[in-house]
Structure 1
Amino acid sequence: MLVRVFVVNKHSNTGIRGPRVPFLVRPITNAVANKVTDFLILPNMKKHFAFLEKQLETSGGDYLCGPNLTAGDVALSFVILVNKPAYPKLGNWKPEQEYPRVWAYMSRLETSPGWLRSIEKIKSIEGSFALYRGAKE
């Protein structure tokens, strides 16, 4: 579900808001994108962040399934980290304050040795690293 929210968010924020949209049509497409964000994306993000917050609270450790990093954490890492800079801009919410465990979890994922090694490996092959095309390193 979090992946679907990510895809819808990417479409509404880049596909119909971007500079390729004609100037005279842009207010209409922005209004549509804002409604999609308000009524679909933000409520779903809050629901999923609340689930993750509860899971992290009851896991008995710093990760989803306890004290150690698992395949579940690795699988979720891209999906949750790719939009981290955009989460606070999605609407009227402060995810770092409302979901402190999730925000700390994302920071742990970003600083885990495996994540950092993978970034260095990508940089050695590609010359740079970005979570998605268009993102800044």
Structure 2
Amino acid sequence: MRLLIDGDACPNKEELYQLALDYNIEMIVFCDYSHIINGEYETIYCDVGHDEVDQIIYKEAHRDDIIITQDYGLASLLILKGASVIHVNGFILDEDNIYSYLASRYESAKARRSKKKIKQMKKRSSDMQENLLSCVKFTIESHN
């Protein structure tokens, strides 16, 4: 089991790294070369481009890995691989809910193409940060 992080949009990397240390699991952060990420954890840099990071994460992910991402398309593929997927806002993405999130993503993209006004995303709250850490901790413990 490893903790793989889609680093372009994931907050709390230092707190997640401390969790990984506490549970003695490897943590790898994936990002493209346009981002600079400093930390004691392993960082894998990818080419800059649409879905470049997602493709590398998918290729590297194994069954039983825990992946943190906000990309529903990537999450759906990782779920099929047998990985545990956690959204950066602190909720589990699984076969029971991924299709509704993919449908929502599709509807939002359709609305953007037709120039319809769409809701702004909520600003990240401290509750979301706490939920992420709690969800990761719960998932790690349930794997042991």
TM-score > 0.5 by shorter chain: no
Q: Hey, which of these two has a bigger chunk of helix by percent? A: 1
TM-score normalised to structure 2 length = 0.26
Q: Hey, which of these two has a bigger chunk of strand by percent? A: 2
The structure that has the greater radius of gyration is: 1
TM-score normalised to structure 1 length = 0.27
